[in-house]
Structure 1
Amino acid sequence: MRFFNTEGPVRPDIHYSVSPLQRWDLEEILTLIGREKYFLLHAPRQTGKTSCLLALAEQLNHDGRYQAVYANLEIAQAAREDVALAMTGIVQTIAAAATRQLGDTGVESLATSVLRDRAATVALGQFLERWCAASPRPLVLLLDKVDALIGDTLISLLRQLRAGYPQRPERFPQTVVLCGVRDLRDYRIHASSEREVITGGSAFNIKAKSLRLGDFDAADVRALLHQHTEETGQVFTPEAIEQVWTLTQGQPWLVNALAYETCFERRAGRDRSRAIDRAMIDQAKETLILNRVTHLDQLADKLREPRVRRVIEPMLAGTALGEVPIDDLQYLLDLGLCRMNNGQGLTIANPIYREVLPRMLAFTPQASLPQITPSWLNPDGSLNPDRLLTAFLAFWRQHGQAMLGSAPYHEIAPHLVLMAFLHRVINGGGTLEREYAIGSGRMDLCLRYGAVTLGMELKVWRDGRPDPLDEGLAQLDGYLDGLGLDTGWLVIFDRRADQPPIEARTTYTEARSPQGRSLVVVRA
């Protein structure tokens, strides 16, 4: 029985899959190869780049016009900027791949000879030149994980390819495809230990094009899920299919992970007579986030990088980006962490990522929380919003100031501490959803616990700005409209200088919104 793939390249014999060669313009690829072009393929991690390269190599070798070899250069990353060690690894990796994929037993002997007789800075070029000169068909070389290389090692690779370029296709590869997470902006290659540019010119100005592998579209998602139905008879309801698309926006790993968790890990989903519904997809999403699966954990780890923080922190705070370097924005787009949304500018790429980022940032404050008695529950275990308000005010007055220092992003420290508190409240018995965007001036939270749904809006009062009360009341009206609620909380964090201590200024009042809702206004 096939299953949804979440590890490594797709194997159609054991995985449900969207045909890799249908995910890009194959005619364009073949045209570039036919014209002897060198080009780039880039996309975020775990989107199917390797599967596409392997499928392309297989098709090219099957057609018989070219000989194609796929090689993963990640092994050379451990060499860092030791060019001799890295180039030895690269040449040996390509030779071993050719032996496996083409059955050419002489390539490894050739590699050994070249590495013995040539300097590392020319070994790759000499190896490719001698190999291509002796080959009966033009070589198409597909090099994966190129962006794992750094500094002098990367420069050496690119310059050796550029030096041999004029000799193609008789004495050098007809086409070289470089693949990685980022587009290769070679004029910004940096050393590993310093951030200064170490190459003044273009090390790979022979590239013809830079192609980006996109996510699944909605039809791809439906087709992938339908393969499970065809194989097992288990159907996905239309609402479940729509929710998979909504939560993932077609990110391939997320689509497969949600489906695998639902259909193969959860007991209810393993009952093939039971339809997969929206609630099961939502439960699977929560499980993936709570388990900190590798894909999401690696993504969240990027939050520590200064160039990521410069973009994500104002997004979470709802403020303008300011003078953020273009390369920082492009970095987040290349990572797949953000996307450009037509008419809305830069946004988080999908709702799952949007949920993961603040949750991960709130993890340290949550771990730092003191022991809190759950006084917010009724005797029957249901959530009492009035008691929750009393508990939060008591917690904030006693611990708020000390807890702010545990938050990793200073500008949104109050938000993170509040979210940490609310995660202690739900403690696996509910959910906390978040909405935020650049320039919105707020973050919205929706706490769901049993039959209770509580909408909150978080605002910050900063120096030189007017009291955000009126704006917040109007914005909260709009948020509660979408949730179908008549009441909610407006929480205003006063971050102005020279204010009284938190325990003295933390209060709450009741207010009427422009649409007539009875709201709680917390000033903290």
Structure 2
Amino acid sequence: MRFFTTEGPVKPEDHYCLPPLQRWGLDEVLMLIEQKKYFLLHAPRQTGKTSCLLALMEHLNREGRYRAVYANLEGAQTAREDVARGMRTICGTIEAAARLYLGDDRLHAWTESSWQARGADGALTGLLENWALNSSAPLVVLLDEVDALIGDTLIALLRQLRAGYTQRSAAFPNTVILCGVRDLRDYRIHASSEHQAINGGSAYNIKAESLRLGDFSADEVSALLQEHTQETGQAFTPEALARVWELTQGQPWLVNALAYETCFEMREGRDRSQAIDRARIDQAKENLILCRVTHLDQLADKLREPRVRRVIEPMLAGTALGEVPTDDIQYLIDLGLCRMANGRGLTIANPIYREVLPRALAFTPQASLPQITPSWLDAAGNLVPDALLAAFLAFWRQHGEPLLGSAPYHEIAPHLVLMAFMQRVVNGEGTLEREYAIGRGRMDLCLRYRAVTLGIELKVWRERAPDPLAEGLTQLDAYLAGLGLDGGWLVIFDRRPGLAPVAERLTSTEATSPQGRRIRVVRA
């Protein structure tokens, strides 16, 4: 029985999958190999890069015009700037790959002779020269996880490949493909002794192309899910197929994770006579986020990096990016956290990531919350909006200001503490959806709890800026109209300096929006 996989390269005999080389564009890759080019493949983690490289190796070896070997260099990461140790690991990895995939056990002797003659700074060049000279066909070497290498070890690898480049393909590999998350321009090599960064391109200026493996298209998402239907008879409703695409925007790991959770983990999804509907997809999404699965946890961990914070913090606040370096923006795109959307500029890559990032940032404030009695529920367990407002005001008056220090992003600390409170409110019985983007000047929240839907807009009153009330009421009108609601909350966080403590200035009043909706205005 095949299944959806989220763990490493796909195996068609075990996993539902799309043909890897079809996704990559085999004709373009073969043209570059025919032209003896050295090039890169990069894409975010868990999007199918390794599957593509393995499929390419198999294709080339089956055709017989080239001899191809795939080697994963991640094991050399721990060598950091110990070049001798790092190059020993790299050469040993290539030797093992040649034995495994080609049955060629001659490489170790060539490594040893090259090491004696050239040392760590030339051993790889010598190994590849000997291998190419004694190969029955031009060599294609596929090196994965190259951007995991650090410091002088990475410099040594790139420079030794460049050193032999002019000898291709008679006395050096015909083609070398470097693969990783980041593009070559972002291979930043730091020497601890000098604390200087060298751009990777200066050490490897022979690359001809930098190919990015894209996400699935909507049609490819449907095609992948239909493999399960063809094999088991269990259908996905059209609404479910559309929802998977909407939530993931084709990110391969997310597509597979949602489908696996729905069809193999959720008890009701294992009944193959029952079609998978939109509600099950939504529940699977919540399950993945709540379980903090590794992929999503790794993305959330990136939020601690200064270059990620410089982009994500204003995005969550709804402010302009300002003078953020272009490389920082491209870094987030390469990581798969963000994408350039037509007509909208930079945005979070998909709705699941849009949900995960603020949840991750609000985790510490949520863990710091005191015990809160759910006074917002009636005897039947239904949410009462007026009681929720009273509970929030009481919470904010007593605990809001002290908790701001627990938020990792200072500029949006009030947003994070409020979201932590609301996440405690939903507590598995409901959902809290977030909408935010660069330049919107706000963050919108939609709290759904059983039959109750509550729309909330968060705005910040900053120094030397006018009162955001009027703008907020107009913006909230549009948001509530999209939700089909005739009222909601506008929460204005006053962040101007020199104000009285929050407990003394916290207020709640009623206002009417330009389109006649009843708005509860909270000034905190």
Aligned 8 A contact 1:181 1:334 in 2: yes
Q: Secondary structure at 1:432's aligned position in 2?
A: strand
Equivalent-residue separation in structure 1 for 2:143 and 2:115 (angstroms): 19
Cα drift, residue 432 of structure 1 = 0.2
1:502 partner letter: V
Q: What residue number does 1:491 align with?
A: 491
Cα drift, residue 109 of structure 1 = 3.2
Q: Secondary structure at 2:27's aligned position in 1?
A: helix
Equivalent-residue separation in structure 2 for 1:200 and 1:457 (angstroms): 44
Query: Any idea what the Cα deviations from partners look like across 1:50-86, whole Å, max 9, x if unmatched?
Result: 0000000000000000000000000100111100000
Matched, 1:314 2:314: yes
Aligned 8 A contact 1:150 1:192 in 2: no
Q: What residue number does 2:341 align with?
A: 341
Aligned 8 A contact 1:151 1:198 in 2: no
Matched, 1:50 2:50: yes
Equivalent-residue separation in structure 1 for 2:200 and 2:42 (angstroms): 23
Q: 1:324 to 1:140 in 2, by over 3 A?
A: same
Q: Secondary structure at 1:61's aligned position in 2?
A: helix
| Matched ranges for 1:345-494 at <5 A | 345-494=345-494
Q: Secondary structure at 1:319's aligned position in 2?
A: coil
Q: 1:3 to 1:164 in 2, by over 3 A?
A: same
Q: What residue number does 1:67 align with?
A: 67
Query: Any idea what the Cα deviations from partners look like across 1:471-518, whole Å, max 9, x if unmatched?
Result: 000100100111111110000011111111100111101110111011
Which stretch of the first structure deviates more once superposed, 353-362 or 492-501?
Answer: 492-501
Q: What residue number does 1:171 align with?
A: 171
Query: Any idea what the Cα deviations from partners look like across 1:439-475, whole Å, max 9, x if unmatched?
Result: 0000000000010000000000011001000100010
Query: Any idea what the Cα deviations from partners look like across 1:358-404, whole Å, max 9, x if unmatched?
Result: 00000000000011111000011000000000000000001111011
Q: 1:307 to 1:68 in 2, by over 3 A?
A: same
Cα drift, residue 117 of structure 1 = 4.5
Q: Secondary structure at 2:440's aligned position in 1?
A: coil
Q: Secondary structure at 2:177's aligned position in 1?
A: strand
Equivalent-residue separation in structure 2 for 1:313 and 1:195 (angstroms): 27
Unmatched tracts of structure 2, length 5 or more: none
Aligned 8 A contact 2:185 2:199 in 1: no
Aligned 8 A contact 2:110 2:126 in 1: no
Cα drift, residue 278 of structure 1 = 0.3
Cα drift, residue 151 of structure 1 = 1.5
Q: What residue number does 2:502 align with?
A: 502
Q: What residue number does 2:250 align with?
A: 250
2:297 partner letter: D
Aligned 8 A contact 1:339 1:348 in 2: yes
2:175 partner letter: T
Cα drift, residue 29 of structure 1 = 0.6
Q: Secondary structure at 2:196's aligned position in 1?
A: coil
Task: Compute the RMSD of aligned alpha carbons.
Answer: 1.3
Cα drift, residue 186 of structure 1 = 6.8
| Matched ranges for 1:177-196 at <5 A | 177-185=177-185, 188-191=188-191, 196=196
Equivalent-residue separation in structure 2 for 1:224 and 1:455 (angstroms): 36
Cα drift, residue 193 of structure 1 = 7.9
Which stretch of the first structure deviates more once superposed, 34-43 or 103-112?
Answer: 103-112
Q: What residue number does 1:220 align with?
A: 220
Aligned 8 A contact 1:125 1:160 in 2: yes
1:18 partner letter: L
Cα drift, residue 116 of structure 1 = 4.6
Equivalent-residue separation in structure 2 for 1:95 and 1:200 (angstroms): 25
Aligned 8 A contact 1:144 1:179 in 2: yes
Equivalent-residue separation in structure 2 for 1:243 and 1:474 (angstroms): 30
1:478 partner letter: A
Aligned 8 A contact 2:319 2:440 in 1: yes
Query: Any idea what the Cα deviations from partners look like across 1:176-208, whole Å, max 9, x if unmatched?
Result: 000000001178533368752247981111111
Name the TM-score, length of structure 1 as normaliser.
0.98
Query: Any idea what the Cα deviations from partners look like across 1:244-293, whole Å, max 9, x if unmatched?
Result: 00000000000000000000000000000000000000000000000000
| Matched ranges for 1:101-250 at <5 A | 101-185=101-185, 188-191=188-191, 196-198=196-198, 202-250=202-250
Equivalent-residue separation in structure 1 for 2:201 and 2:3 (angstroms): 47
Equivalent-residue separation in structure 2 for 1:126 and 1:191 (angstroms): 25
Equivalent-residue separation in structure 2 for 1:458 and 1:109 (angstroms): 66
Q: Secondary structure at 2:225's aligned position in 1?
A: helix
Equivalent-residue separation in structure 1 for 2:468 and 2:23 (angstroms): 47
Aligned 8 A contact 2:429 2:449 in 1: yes
Which stretch of the first structure deviates more once superposed, 302-311 or 106-115?
Answer: 106-115
Q: What residue number does 1:302 align with?
A: 302
Q: What residue number does 1:267 align with?
A: 267
Equivalent-residue separation in structure 2 for 1:499 and 1:161 (angstroms): 61
2:205 partner letter: N
Equivalent-residue separation in structure 1 for 2:17 and 2:412 (angstroms): 40
Equivalent-residue separation in structure 2 for 1:200 and 1:405 (angstroms): 38
Aligned 8 A contact 2:73 2:144 in 1: yes
Equivalent-residue separation in structure 2 for 1:485 and 1:14 (angstroms): 47
Aligned 8 A contact 1:187 1:203 in 2: no
Q: What residue number does 1:281 align with?
A: 281
Equivalent-residue separation in structure 1 for 2:196 and 2:407 (angstroms): 30
Q: 1:307 to 1:429 in 2, by over 3 A?
A: same
Equivalent-residue separation in structure 1 for 2:108 and 2:213 (angstroms): 32
Query: Any idea what the Cα deviations from partners look like across 1:392-444, whole Å, max 9, x if unmatched?
Result: 00000011110111110000000000000011111111100000000000000
Q: 1:491 to 1:38 in 2, by over 3 A?
A: same
Unmatched tracts of structure 1, length 5 or more: none
Q: Secondary structure at 1:189's aligned position in 2?
A: strand
Equivalent-residue separation in structure 2 for 1:140 and 1:217 (angstroms): 29
Which stretch of the first structure deviates more once superposed, 5-14 or 193-202?
Answer: 193-202
Q: What residue number does 1:330 align with?
A: 330
1:475 partner letter: Q
Q: What residue number does 2:82 align with?
A: 82
Q: Secondary structure at 2:202's aligned position in 1?
A: coil
1:458 partner letter: L
Q: Secondary structure at 2:269's aligned position in 1?
A: helix
Q: 1:245 to 1:194 in 2, by over 3 A?
A: farther
Query: Any idea what the Cα deviations from partners look like across 1:111-161, whole Å, max 9, x if unmatched?
Result: 344335430000000000011101110000000000001121111111111
1:345 partner letter: G
Cα drift, residue 162 of structure 1 = 0.6
Aligned 8 A contact 1:150 1:190 in 2: yes
Q: Secondary structure at 1:108's aligned position in 2?
A: helix
Q: 1:115 to 1:304 in 2, by over 3 A?
A: same
Cα drift, residue 25 of structure 1 = 1.8
Aligned 8 A contact 2:43 2:181 in 1: yes
Cα drift, residue 108 of structure 1 = 3.0
Equivalent-residue separation in structure 2 for 1:430 and 1:88 (angstroms): 54
